[in-house]
Structure 1
């Protein structure tokens, strides 16, 4: 097997008493594609959001290119995670953000635009 592009080790996440990820282990080798499929509420999006840094897991380790993204400072983590993109089912929005922030996401994260300026542009486009 080739070196891992993404690796999750014993990742746990819960929301209140609801356990969503219970010790997830996953290795995605470099050059491989992966489809995450399962029933509603089984933790698919939560797992991916943990990898992307949108949600922080309660415990466990997440590696991208052999580097533990949970131990990186914000700038280093953003540099690594800029390689990734995510589209929710049916081109849905980030469910954890208001609509304007979904529209402004690329401006804020990708172009490092100030939130106020990005918000003004997003609201104008809406």
Structure 2
């Protein structure tokens, strides 16, 4: 990917789609701070994740939900319940 520019607002849901080998997984790993960008910056709540301490990156990840292709899901739960599952585990959400 080159010269990408994206803003995701609070509460907004996005989908990353594309062919095999087009950079989707790398893009998501950059957003999560798993990989460091070669150039440019990625901000979460105004903070450059490339400059964050690991404990802050881990805390940031608790606010982001994602599902990878072929990911194991709970077949007894709906898609929405599967996506919400980690939120319920990390936060005090009833619904």
TM-score range, shorter-chain basis? 0.5 to 0.7
CA gap of 1:32–1:85, structure 2 versus 1, over 3 A, is: closer
Superposed displacement of residue 83, structure 1: 2.0
Alignment TM-score, normalising by the size of structure 2? 0.66
Partner of residue 58, structure 1: 38
Higher strand share: 1
Q: CA 1:67–1:27 in 2, change beyond 3 Å: closer, same or farther?
A: same
Higher relative contact order structure (alpha carbons within 8 Å, sequence separation ≥ 6): 1
Please state how far the C-alpha of 1:25 moved relative to its aligned partner: 0.9
> d(CA) in 1 for partners of 2:13 and 2:62?
18
Alignment partner, residue 46 of structure 1: 26
Structure number with greater Rg is 1
Measured against aligned partners, the alpha-carbon deviations of 1:45-72 in whole angstroms (never above 9, x if no partner) come to 1101101122211111111122111111
Unaligned regions of 5+ residues in structure 1, if any?
A: 1-20, 93-109, 111-126
Are positions 1:34 and 2:14 aligned together?
yes
**1:67/1:75 Cα in 2 relative to 1: closer, same or farther (>3 Å)?**
same
1:88 aligns with 2:68: yes
